[in-house]
């Protein structure tokens, strides 16, 4: 098997923006095959299972990246220097893919743990979550899962969801000079202040309270026309303590405008800290369980107990000169290997 670092270097060298993961999926498939596994493709996603009998642990991460974008001083398709690998996806999340692959192979290379591991690497995590949805429809139901995202190996035991709302204030047009009419922008201004004052009282042990931000305002066509419509976009990061309907009702009570749901696809998820998958991640040396504000494919695991953990730092994701320390990669390989053993062999 190729060293994790050189495999990661090759994987980063293959561009794989969301929707164009074919070549990256080919590379992962070939690597798994070369290791004696029997990988299968589901569209632009790849999966393979190790071991036999016992429980089934899913190790999932994603093959796609956001576009490289501007501002790079290093090669976005990979530059290895000073103990780091720079490149788009090195940190988010190809480092996790490489570490999960190598960690699982090492875990089964000596005495096989008494259970199975399914490696499943999806497409379109950054956009539509198509890969994980297609994988979950195809794979046997796992007992627990690890979602590979850069967390510095610390296990996230809960993840916020995203509820996107639109509030539309309506008025009546008139000539600005003559007055009259009803100014929808003025009405929306009151709604913005009301939204800023919305508070949540239920506090999740690791996620805290939901957060609410008005992130877009759109109203008015011309300087001399009293606008009859103003639209606000409200970005709400949810916790499992609130059903989306409850939050919608709260917003409806606060504003005068009309509330509509733009997206509620990304629900908040959490796993009890006493669950074996959390205990295994802690025993593997991941560190303290925490609550993560960022979304991932975890939201699409259909309630399977999971942690989100992997090498790297989420603050480096989607930035120019994204990198992964090669020592972080090695740490990730050892972490996943220990986690697989701890999960299947049980932790005290
Ligand atoms: Zn990611």
pTM of the model: 0.93
Do 286 and 325 lie in one domain? The reply is: yes
Q: Which of 218, 247, 266 is the last residue of a domain?
A: 266
For residue 52, how far is its CA from the centre of ligand 1 (angstroms)? 29
For residue 344, how far is its CA from the centre of ligand 1 (angstroms)? 26
Q: Write the CATH number for 324.
A: 3.40.630.10
pLDDT at residue 140, as a whole number = 96
- Total of domains in the chain: 2
Taking all residues of the chain, what is their mean pLDDT, rounded to a whole number? 96
Do 141 and 40 lie in one domain? The reply is: yes
Do 145 and 291 lie in one domain? The reply is: yes
Percent of residues, the chain, with pLDDT higher than 70 = 99
Q: Write the CATH number for 228.
A: 3.30.70.360
Question: What mean pLDDT is predicted for residues 107-130?
Answer: 94
pLDDT at residue 13, as a whole number = 98
For residue 64, how far is its CA from the centre of ligand 1 (angstroms)? 8
Sign of CA dihedral 211, 215, 220, 221: negative
pLDDT at residue 231, as a whole number = 98
Do 167 and 273 lie in one domain? The reply is: no
Do 13 and 83 lie in one domain? The reply is: yes
For residue 254, how far is its CA from the centre of ligand 1 (angstroms)? 35
Give residue-wise pLDDT tens across range 305-323.
999 999 999 999 999 999 9
Q: DSSP letters along 192-231, please?
A: HHHHHT------BTTTBS-EEEEEEEEE-SSTTEE-SEEE
Name which of 179, 187, 171 is nearest 227 in CA terms: 171
Name which of 100, 99, 144 is nearest 344 in CA terms: 144
Q: Is the pLDDT of residue 1 over 60?
A: no
Do 189 and 338 lie in one domain? The reply is: no
Q: In the chain, at which residue ranges do the beta strands (DSSP E only) sit?
A: 40-42, 45-50, 56-62, 79-81, 84-86, 116-122, 144-147, 156-159, 161-170, 174-175, 211-219, 225-226, 229-238, 258-266, 269-270, 290-292, 306-308, 323-325
Do 26 and 144 lie in one domain? The reply is: yes
Pairing status of strand 174-175 against strand 156-159: unpaired
For residue 234, how far is its CA from the centre of ligand 1 (angstroms)? 24
For residue 201, how far is its CA from the centre of ligand 1 (angstroms)? 30
Residue located via tokens 């805290």: 208
Question: What mean pLDDT is predicted for residues 55-80?
Answer: 98
For residue 164, how far is its CA from the centre of ligand 1 (angstroms)? 20
Do 143 and 71 lie in one domain? The reply is: yes
For residue 296, how far is its CA from the centre of ligand 1 (angstroms)? 6
3-class DSSP assignment, residue 278: helix
Do 167 and 21 lie in one domain? The reply is: no
For residue 244, how far is its CA from the centre of ligand 1 (angstroms)? 24
Q: Is the pLDDT of residue 2 over 70?
A: no
Kindly indicate the confidence band of residue 346, based on its pLDDT and cuts at 50, 70 and 90: confident
Q: Which domain holds residue 225?
A: 161-266
Q: Is the pLDDT of residue 347 over 70?
A: no
For residue 128, how far is its CA from the centre of ligand 1 (angstroms)? 13
For residue 182, how far is its CA from the centre of ligand 1 (angstroms)? 46
Both tokens assigned to 199: 């508070």
Question: What mean pLDDT is predicted for residues 332-342?
Answer: 97
Do 153 and 170 lie in one domain? The reply is: no
Give residue-wise pLDDT tens across range 194-241.
999 999 999 999 999 999 999 999 999 999 999 999 999 999 999 999
Q: Is the pLDDT of residue 110 over 90?
A: no
Q: Which of 209, 231, 266 is the last residue of a domain?
A: 266
Sign of CA dihedral 117, 121, 122, 124: positive
Q: Which of 248, 266, 284 is the last residue of a domain?
A: 266
For residue 308, how far is its CA from the centre of ligand 1 (angstroms)? 10
Do 143 and 60 lie in one domain? The reply is: yes
Do 299 and 238 lie in one domain? The reply is: no
Q: Is the pLDDT of residue 272 over 90?
A: yes
Q: Is the pLDDT of residue 348 over 70?
A: no
How far, CA to CA in Å, does 93 sit from each of 26, 125, 308?
A: 17, 10, 12
For residue 62, how far is its CA from the centre of ligand 1 (angstroms)? 7
């Amino acid at each position: 098997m190729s060293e994790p670092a050189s495999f990661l270097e090759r994987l980063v060298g293959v561009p794989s923006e969301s929707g164009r993961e074919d070549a990256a999926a080919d590379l992962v498939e070939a690597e798994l095959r070369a290791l004696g596994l029997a990988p299968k493709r589901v569209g632009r996603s790849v999966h393979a299972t190790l071991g036999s009998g016992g429980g089934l642990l899913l190790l999932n991460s994603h093959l796609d990246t956001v576009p490289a974008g501007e501002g790079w001083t290093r090669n976005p398709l990979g530059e290895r220097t000073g103990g780091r690998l720079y490149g788009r996806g090195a940190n988010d999340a190809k480092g996790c893919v490489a570490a999960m692959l190598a960690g699982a192979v090492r875990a089964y290379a000596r005495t096989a743990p008494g259970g199975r591991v399914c490696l499943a690497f999806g497409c379109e995590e950054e956009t539509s979550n198509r890969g994980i949805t297609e994988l979950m429809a195809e794979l046997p139901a796992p007992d627990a899962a690890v979602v590979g995202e850069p967390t510095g190996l610390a296990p996230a035991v809960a993840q916020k969801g995203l509820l996107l709302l639109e509030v539309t204030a309506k008025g009546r047009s008139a000539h600005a000079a003559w007055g009259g009419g009803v100014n929808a922008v003025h009405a929306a201004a009151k709604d913005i202040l009301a939204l800023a004052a919305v508070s949540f009282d239920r506090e999740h042990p690791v996620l805290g309270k939901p957060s609410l931000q008005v992130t877009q305002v759109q109203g008015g066509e011309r300087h001399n026309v009293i606008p009859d419509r103003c639209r606000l976009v409200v970005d709400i990061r949810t916790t499992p303590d609130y059903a989306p309907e409850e939050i919608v009702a709260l917003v409806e009570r606060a504003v005068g405008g009309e509330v509509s749901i733009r997206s509620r696809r990304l629900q908040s998820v959490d796993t009890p800290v006493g669950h074996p998958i959390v205990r295994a991640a802690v025993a593997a040396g991941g560190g303290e369980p925490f609550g993560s504000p960022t979304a991932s494919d975890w939201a699409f695991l259909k309630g399977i107990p999971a942690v989100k953990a992997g090498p790297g730092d989420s603050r480096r994701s989607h930035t120019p000169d994204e990198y992964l320390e090669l020592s972080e990669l090695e740490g990730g390989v050892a972490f996943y290997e220990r986690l697989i053993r701890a999960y299947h062999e049980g932790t005290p």
